[in-house]
């Protein structure tokens, strides 16, 4: 029993040493190898994922390219323009007076176009319609205004001719600017093949014709004349009111009684009047003059 505590103490001292020995280089190497194996597996998984992603992208890119190619082919097929038939001839004539002189057409005026169609082939042609439009001069694919479409549905037999009339009017806001004028004739042959002939496709200018005095200008001139008359009358009244001078009021001066006959002496006592008559020559120069004259006569 005395050795039991010593044995227990020895066991406690030896146990940490064995643990340190077990955690030596060998264990560390094993741990590093295990970590390398795990990292290698992770890298392989990432490489496989990248390969799969690249494969999917390549497949998607191939499918997208194929789809774009198909769309381009379809667009090319759809955008293939219609052309005129070699077995048909067309001529165009502007029948309106002074129309298309120097490549100009009048604004707000009806323009008449006569198109002649000649069938030189062995099959019938069906002239369906005629249409016109204003386009941008620098880019004929850009439409500015579409005119009315005239429908005919007329059959033109081989070796025969037919005439078709087209009418349109250029709006007044288009005056003074150039436009691309296109007049197209749509027709088809007996087999149903469609054709399109641009009978006129040139750049023209829309001009506004001067036809003398119209109603609008007439009323404008009347309004201006009335305004001028009112201004003249108003100016005259103003000058007259400013030129008038008001008469100056004369200052009233009290002068007293000028004529003795206008004096009423009835209310004055007689003695006072006699006294006034005696004393007045001294004060009145007129009476003094009369007295002096009387004295000379005597």
DSSP of the chain, one letter per residue? --HHHHHHHHHHHHHHHHHHHHTSHHHHHHHHHHHHHHHHHHHHHHHHHHHHHHHHHHHHHHHHHHHHHHHHHHHHHHT------TTEEEEEEE-STTTTTTSEEEBTSEEEEEEEEEE-SSS-EEEEEEEEEEEETTEEEEEEEE-PPEEEEEEE-TT-EEEEEEEEEB-GGGTTSEEEEEEEEEEEETT--EEEEEEEEEEEEEE----S--HHHHHHHHHHHHHHHHHHHHHHHHHHHHH--PPPPPPP-------GGGS--TTS-HHHHHHHHHHHHHH-HHHHHHHHHHHHH-
| pLDDT surpassing 60 at residue 53 | no
Is 78 or 214 the better-scoring residue by pLDDT? 214
pLDDT digits (tens, 9 = 90+) for 107-123: 888 999 999 999 998 99
The mean predicted confidence, pLDDT, of the chain is 74
| pLDDT surpassing 80 at residue 270 | no
Is 216 or 153 the better-scoring residue by pLDDT? 153
């Amino acid at each position: 029993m005395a050795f039991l505590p010593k044995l227990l103490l020895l066991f406690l001292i030896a146990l940490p040493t064995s643990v340190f020995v077990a955690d030596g280089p060998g264990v560390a190497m094993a741990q590093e190898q295990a970590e390398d194996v795990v990292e290698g597996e992770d890298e392989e998984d990432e490489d496989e994922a990248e390969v799969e992603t690249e494969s999917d992208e390549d497949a998607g890119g191939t499918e997208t390219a194929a789809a774009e190619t198909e769309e381009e082919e379809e667009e090319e097929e759809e955008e293939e323009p219609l052309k005129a038939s070699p077995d048909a001839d067309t001529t165009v004539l502007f029948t309106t007076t002074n129309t298309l002189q120097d490549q100009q057409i009048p604004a707000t005026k009806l323009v008449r176009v006569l198109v002649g169609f000649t069938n030189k082939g062995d099959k019938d042609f069906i002239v369906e319609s005629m249409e016109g439009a204003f386009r941008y001069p620098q880019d004929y694919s850009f439409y500015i205004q579409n005119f009315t479409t005239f429908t005919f549905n007329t059959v033109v037999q081989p070796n025969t001719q037919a005439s078709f009339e087209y009418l349109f009017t250029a709006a007044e806001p288009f005056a003074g600017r150039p436009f691309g004028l296109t007049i197209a004739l749509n027709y088809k042959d007996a087999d149903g093949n469609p054709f399109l002939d641009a009978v006129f496709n040139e750049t023209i200018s829309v001009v506004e014709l001067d036809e003398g005095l119209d109603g609008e200008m007439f009323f404008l001139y009347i309004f201006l004349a009335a305004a001028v008359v009112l201004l003249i009358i108003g100016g005259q009244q103003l000058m007259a009111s400013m030129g008038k001078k008001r008469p100056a009021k004369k200052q009233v001066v009290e002068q007293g009684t000028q004529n003795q006959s206008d004096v009423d002496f009835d209310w004055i006592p007689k003695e006072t009047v006699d006294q006034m008559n005696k004393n007045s020559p001294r004060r009145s120069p007129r009476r003094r003059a009369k007295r002096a004259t009387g004295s000379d006569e005597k």
